[in-house]
Amino acid sequence: MPERDRKKDIIWNMLGSLLYALSSMVMAFLVTRAAGLGDGGIFGFGFSTFGQQMFIIAYFGIRPFHITDTAGIYSFGAYRRLRLWTSALALGFSVVYVVLFLATGAYDSIYKGLCILLLAAYKIMDGYADVYESEAQRDGGLYVGGQALFFRTLLSMTGFCIVLLMSRSLLPAVLAGAMLQLLGLYVFDIRRFFRTFSAECFSLRLEPGSLVRLLRDTFPLFLSVFLDFYVFSSSRYAIDWFGTDEMSGIFNILFMPTSFIYLAANFIIRPFMTELSDRLDKGDGEGFGLICRRLVLMVTGLSLLCLMGVAILGRPVLTILEMLLGSSYEGVLSGRLGVFFLIIAGGGLYALNNLFYYILIVLRRQRLVFYIYLMGALVAFPLSRGLLGTCGMQGAAISYVILMLLMLAAFSAASRIFMKKTFAKEP
């Protein structure tokens, strides 16, 4: 790839990822400021926890497999058809979840149920849009997906914020954001994709049996990513199920920078995925290992930089946020600096876990990835529930760090073992 194209890819992928990460922070802050801590808790759970879980069902864990399918084993038509199915499944599951929680009294208002359903729909559209952005990257145009993500996010976020500030209510703002997300999906992803790439660059054909084979090959990835996000969010699920909307709102504000760390790490990692795949195809173990070591150093450096920032600037930043939220929030955030530090530490560990996840996917060790996440999920519920009950919000943060450490130990060991096996020389 020419150096100019690589720079264009990195810049637009970075801009799209950064705005995507910042959008959830900006929207969550404005909801808390304009509509109160209760609505802030509903938004945080509906957008960043349940909505993200529905995104994962729609996304199906396919992107790492899709962008490294450089041999073209599956057509774009197969990837797109599967993503349509998974998006419909996610929407159906969202409806069942909300109806069930309203019927059992777990949600005490239709208002909360509708907000969570619309937020889930918003995130499901993100999951479907990704199939176009993945195909663009596979064809060497990562910048196309970065641009689509940037402008689609900007459009929906702007509309959401304007309606929120005018209405001072979460429901009309979420409705506006979801409608603009649908418009952005059509304009910046679907229409842009078919205008940018010629018919020779992609195919909508479906080879006989290809959809079933693709589902079989990627289903372990879906299970892995689904369990991964549950492990990542188990502390937030515990607070939503066993705590209050107000507690959820506070924890969500403190948790928001972890999304920034994750997405910032992704814009470092993703441009190198196709190159790692090429090194694997050529049997270049030395080059593969060199890229992996550089990525580990860069993601570790990013994580340490964020921790240093919290240690030095954490309390002043949280105090400023309280001032911006209003006088009634004094001490609500700054009094939980220790919780904030633990959450950021867990976010850095999660970014490293994500890197090793990508490495194992490139090595096509999907089943191993699933077993690691299954181990984490089995530990997550009792650990997060138990520590929340005994130590409150601090316990939820401690459970998050413990889980990320366990996952990192498993992922790093597995990556090292299977890199050696994959590139071992024949005797």
- Residue the block writes with tokens 């064809």: 139
Q: Report the range out of 111-115, 214-218, 226-230, 301-305 with the highest average pLDDT.
A: 111-115
What's this model's pTM, rounded to 2 decimal places?
0.76
Question: Confidence class of residue 206 from pLDDT cuts 50, 70 and 90?
Answer: low
Cβ pair 223, 373 in contact under 8 A: yes
Q: Can you tell me the distance from the alpha carbon of 347 to that of 366, in angstroms, rounded to the nearest whole number?
A: 23
The C-alpha angle 139, 141, 146, rounded to 5 degrees, equals 135
27-40 per-position pLDDT tens digit = 988 998 888 878 88
Q: How far is CA 265 from CA 347, 348, 350, 358, in A?
A: 10, 9, 10, 12
Q: Can you tell me the distance from the alpha carbon of 59 to that of 128, in angstroms, rounded to the nearest whole number?
A: 7
Burial of residue 64 (number of CB atoms within 10 Å: 0-12, 13-18, 19+): buried
Would the pLDDT of 106 be above 50? Answer: yes
Domains of the chain, by residue range, sit at: 1-206, 208-427
Cβ pair 364, 220 in contact under 8 A: no
The C-alpha angle 167, 168, 170, rounded to 5 degrees, equals 95
Cβ pair 332, 187 in contact under 8 A: no
Would the pLDDT of 86 be above 60? Answer: yes
Residue 86 C-alpha from the chain's centroid: 17
Q: Can you tell me the distance from the alpha carbon of 66 to that of 189, in angstroms, rounded to the nearest whole number?
A: 17
223-241 per-position pLDDT tens digit = 877 888 888 888 887 877 7
Would the pLDDT of 426 be above 80? Answer: no
Query: DSSP letters of 194-208?
Result: HHHS-GGG------T
* The pLDDT value given to residue 205: 65
Q: Report the range out of 40-44, 177-181, 192-196, 197-201 with the highest average pLDDT.
A: 177-181
Residues 40-63 as b or e (16 or more Cβ within 10 Å = b): bbbbbbbbbbbbbbbbbbbbbbbb
* The pLDDT value given to residue 1: 43
Q: What is the mean pLDDT of residues 114-133?
A: 94
Angle between helical axes of 210-242 and 76-103 (0-180°, round to 10):
30
Instruction: Pick the closest to residue 376 from 403, 411, 401, 398 (CA basis).
Output: 403
Count the Cβ atoms, other than its own, within 10 Å of residue 389. Answer: 12
